[in-house]
């Protein structure tokens, strides 16, 4: 009986090693250098590179005598990024958040000055936070908006607060720009957003950022339920579920939390602030 390795094609495996060597090189290498990096003979390396060059996967600089990845690699990577649809990738994680917390889980994206739900997995509880696909919320109220504001620059936040009318939905809706900035800073510091009854639903919610391969925040993963069910123990469980699943979705989209990546900051470690004192809900 054949094992898994018996189905491998040796020439393809070698070609992949060459492409990996070219991808890891700080500058385009010569034939001898890339052969050494891939642990292949020079004649074999030459034949494989020539084949890859014919397919547009490798380019050759005749003046320098060096090789580099070809333009078709970029074309293939774009195809991969198109296939990594955030809703498709996130769907199983929405179910996981719902199952881990028992509450409604949603995925939201930013559209101008609002966030819009693009996927929803509802709680199975009779009393639950009901959300719908297409439901929009302003950036200044609720958890999803805080995630996108936290991903914006301070200048972008200032411009947003100047152009938008901060309408209160409840007594708990933040309408003071100073309070909103404080909430944004808190979100940046702990790695998740939190709100209670800011939109008039009598609910408590938590959200975490979902990042694309280049570090951009492309969506917010949210869990929300009745405020009456958000006990200190439940609160910790909701936070852990939404933060962990958001990280897993980001990883599936190609995002790495390595702090050495230029221009991209790693997500903060989860440090949940103390549970809020109980207070009368509006």
Tens digits of residue pLDDT in 212-246 = 988 999 999 999 999 999 999 999 999 999 999 99
What are the tokens at 157?
A: 């936040």
The residue extents of the domains of the chain are 4-72, 83-252
pLDDT tens per residue, range 249-263 = 999 988 987 654 433
Reference 243, options 210, 217, 275; nearest CA is 210
Residue 237, sorted as left (phi over 0), alpha (psi -120 to 50) or beta, turns out to be alpha
**Rounded to whole angstroms, how far apart are CA atoms 139 and 131?**
17
The domain covering 83-252 belongs, at the CATH homologous superfamily level, to GAF domain (3.30.450.40)
Per-residue pLDDT tens over the stretch 87-137:
999 999 999 999 999 999 999 999 889 999 999 999 988 888 788 888 889
Give residues with Cβ within 8 angstroms of 171, minimum separation 6: 282
pTM above 0.75, yes or no: no
Q: 4-72 and 83-252: same fold?
A: no
Q: What is the dihedral of CA 27, 42, 40, 7, to 10 degrees?
A: 110
Residues 146-201: tens digit of each pLDDT: 999 999 999 999 999 999 999 999 999 999 999 999 999 999 999 999 999 998 87
CATH topology of domain 4-72: Arc Repressor Mutant, subunit A (1.10.10)
Going 189 to 192 to 193 to 196, the CA torsion angle's sign is: negative
Instruction: Select from 32, 29, 38, 35 the least CA-distant residue to 64.
Output: 29
What whole-number distance in Å separates Cα of residue 195 and Cα of residue 115?
15
Query: Dihedral angle at the C-alpha atoms of 37, 40, 43, 49, nearest 10 degrees?
Result: -60
Residues 6+ apart with CB under 8 A from 11: 48
- Pinpoint the alpha helices (H) of 199-231: none
Q: Which residues, listed in sequence order, are joined to residue 221 by a DSSP beta bridge?
A: 107, 208
């Amino acid at each position: 009986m054949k094992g898994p390795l018996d189905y491998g094609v040796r020439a393809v495996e070698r070609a992949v090693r060459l492409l990996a060597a070219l991808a890891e090189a700080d500058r385009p290498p010569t034939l001898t250098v890339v052969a050494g990096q891939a642990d292949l003979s020079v004649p074999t390396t030459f034949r494989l590179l020539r084949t890859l060059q014919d397919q547009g996967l490798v380019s050759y600089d005749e003046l320098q005598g060096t090789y580099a990845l070809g333009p078709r690699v970029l074309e293939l990577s774009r195809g991969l990024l198109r296939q990594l649809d955030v809703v498709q990738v996130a769907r199983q994680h929405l179910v996981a958040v719902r199952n881990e917390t028992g509450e409604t889980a949603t995925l939201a994206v930013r559209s101008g000055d609002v966030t819009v739900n693009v996927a929803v997995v509802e709680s199975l509880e009779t009393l639950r936070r009901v959300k719908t696909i297409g439901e929009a919320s302003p950036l200044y109220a609720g958890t999803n908006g805080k995630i996108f504001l936290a991903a914006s620059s301070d200048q972008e936040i200032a411009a947003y607060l100047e152009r938008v009318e901060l309408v209160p939905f409840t007594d708990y809706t933040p309408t003071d720009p100073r309070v909103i900035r404080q909430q944004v800073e808190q979100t940046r510091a702990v790695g998740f957003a939190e709100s209670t009854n800011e939109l008039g639903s009598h609910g408590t919610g938590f959200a975490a950022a979902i990042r694309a391969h280049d570090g951009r925040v492309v969506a917010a993963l949210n869990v929300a339920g009745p405020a009456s069910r958000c006990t200190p123990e439940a609160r910790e469980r909701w936070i852990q579920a939404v933060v962990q699943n958001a990280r897993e979705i980001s990883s599936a989209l190609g995002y790495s939390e390595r702090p050495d990546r230029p221009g991209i900051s790693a997500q903060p470690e989860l440090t949940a602030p103390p549970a809020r004192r109980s207070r009368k809900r509006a």
